[in-house]
Structure 1
């Protein structure tokens, strides 16, 4: 027999549903993280888009924008790497072109870093961000 003065055992409440709508603060958080995730290219924006796109309007819009940008940046990085590998077999000209392609590669990564930070800060501040020169693969 249990003591009547003893509190009842802990009963956890219902867990939130996996597809439950996000609060406004969480919506803004995940939207800004989609932009900040672009610093390490494709994977974070893709995961945030796939998991949260139907749970909040801001995260849907901003993760789609961030994903479109990082698809473009990743494509340019892959193309530059392939061209560097192909042109690397040419003796002197290949070295010069490889050096130029390395500079392009570094410039693309720096531009991506700057735009990802600007996008994340703007969204975290309550606004929206559209990347310049962004071909939108996902409409």
Structure 2
């Protein structure tokens, strides 16, 4: 028998998020593409008082802030559609929302917290 067969792998670091939390955080970011701010809001409200879910809470809060910022941009774009520039700003905001949500989802899956650029941080 070899010496390597009876060894167990070392435990993960104490502050490392669980892989389930990584997957859920990724889904929270990606859900913003189709469902807007609803899923990040629910995940943040459910997990905000649980210290063991700090990674998931932080990602949910970041996704919620970004989706609320996008909602404001969509509203302003809707008003600007009267002068036709709103169609361009709406399309640009939608493309940016999809791209940044994918980038944030990939980062969350790796265990990193992604900070969206140009986001109004309403939830602190």
User: TM-score, normalising length from structure 2?
Assistant: 0.77
**Residue 76 (str. 1) matches residue 73 (str. 2):** yes
Counterpart secondary structure, 2:74: helix
Structure 2 spans left out of the alignment, 5+ residues: 1-16
Number of equivalences: 105
**Residue 39 (str. 1) matches residue 33 (str. 2):** yes
Corresponding residue for 1:15? none
Counterpart secondary structure, 2:100: helix
Structure 1 spans left out of the alignment, 5+ residues: 1-22, 88-96
**Residue 120 (str. 1) matches residue 115 (str. 2):** no
What is the CA-CA distance between 1:52 and the residue it aligns to?
2.6
Aligned alpha-carbon RMSD (Å): 1.5
What is the CA-CA distance between 1:26 and the residue it aligns to?
2.2
- Picking from 34, 57, 60, the partner of 2:57 is 60
Higher Rg:
1
Corresponding residue for 1:7? none
> Distance in 1 between the 2:119 and 2:74 partners?
15
